[in-house]
């Protein structure tokens, strides 16, 4: 009996547990700003709202504590993390280490698949510029950096970056009114892509540093204000 065309492209579906689903929903609400920094996550209320028992909610909250999005304060409860200027600087210090390595590997390897992915993200960012929706541009901004890290093809780097990305979204949630002018942001990412495709590795790494430094200045200025 011949095998139906297309079956080779299918992979097994990994069942998702209830705590995973709850964690995903809460994560989305936290990074969108729906749950503001410092908000208490009340387990019984969440369980009632989600229509589940408290057990999976408790497990989901612990997952998010491990990710750094929530903090567990003894005798007080679980709260959405509040990031100050020192936290923001630390997040971007960690991002710098990961993204410089990823940029170096892609620059040297010149994987066309990964370069095409980055080019597609930049083009989408360009097409969205001018619509006045900073959140859409911010998502494409983060999509570019996610694609860059994925290009390293290192599961551990990608896993570490996932947590940093969630924390970055919390930072950016308060930056929408101060977000860089969209055409300039597009130009920055076009420049990064051109340097990745080019021959000057030092210029590329300097540009990565400058890009992340600029974000830290914007975020910490907002924090201080």
Average pLDDT for runs of 10 along the chain of length 225:
61 81 91 87 96 96 91 94 91 97 96 96 90 81 96 94 88 65 89 97 97 90 57
| Tokens, residue 210 | 């400058």
Whether 85-224 and 18-80 are alike in CATH topology: the answer is no
pLDDT for the residue numbered 186: 92
What is the distance between the alpha carbons of residues 115 and 14, in angstroms, rounded to a whole number? 29
pLDDT for the residue numbered 182: 81
pLDDT for the residue numbered 180: 64
Residue 175: closest CA among 19, 26, 31: 31
**The architecture CATH gives domain 18-80:** Orthogonal Bundle (1.10)
pLDDT for the residue numbered 80: 93
The CATH code belonging to domain 85-224 is 1.20.120.530
Residue 32: closest CA among 211, 169, 162: 169
pLDDT for the residue numbered 225: 47
pLDDT for the residue numbered 211: 95
Per-residue burial over 192-219, b = 16 or more CB atoms within 10 Å of its CB, e = otherwise: bbebbeeeeeeebbebbeebbeebbebb
What is the distance between the alpha carbons of residues 72 and 66, in angstroms, rounded to a whole number? 10
pLDDT for the residue numbered 6: 62
What is the distance between the alpha carbons of residues 80 and 190, in angstroms, rounded to a whole number? 35
pTM, full prediction? 0.78
Question: What residue spans define the domains of the chain?
Answer: 18-80, 85-224
What is the distance between the alpha carbons of residues 39 and 191, in angstroms, rounded to a whole number? 39
């Amino acid at each position: 009996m011949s095998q139906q065309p297309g079956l080779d492209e299918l992979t097994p579906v990994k069942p998702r547990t209830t705590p995973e689903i709850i964690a995903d929903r809460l994560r989305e609400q936290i990074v969108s700003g729906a749950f503001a920094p410092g908000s208490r996550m009340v387990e019984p209320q969440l369980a009632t709202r989600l229509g589940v028992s408290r057990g999976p909610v408790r497990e989901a909250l612990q997952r998010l504590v491990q990710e750094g999005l929530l903090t567990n304060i003894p005798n007080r409860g679980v709260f959405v993390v509040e990031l100050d200027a020192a936290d923001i600087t630390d997040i971007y210090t960690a991002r710098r280490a990961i993204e410089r390595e990823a940029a170096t590997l892609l620059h040297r390897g010149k994987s066309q698949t990964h370069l095409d992915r980055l080019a597609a993200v930049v083009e989408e960012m360009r097409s969205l510029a001018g619509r006045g929706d900073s959140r859409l541009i911010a998502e494409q901004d983060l999509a570019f950096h996610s694609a860059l890290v994925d290009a390293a093809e290192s599961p551990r780097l990608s896993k570490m970056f996932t947590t940093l990305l969630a924390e970055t979204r919390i930072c950016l949630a308060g930056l929408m009114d101060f977000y860089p002018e969209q055409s300039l942001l597009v130009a920055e990412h076009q420049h990064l892509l051109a340097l990745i495709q080019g021959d000057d590795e030092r210029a590329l790494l300097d540009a990565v540093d400058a890009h992340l430094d600029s974000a830290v200045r914007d975020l910490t200025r907002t924090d201080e204000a």
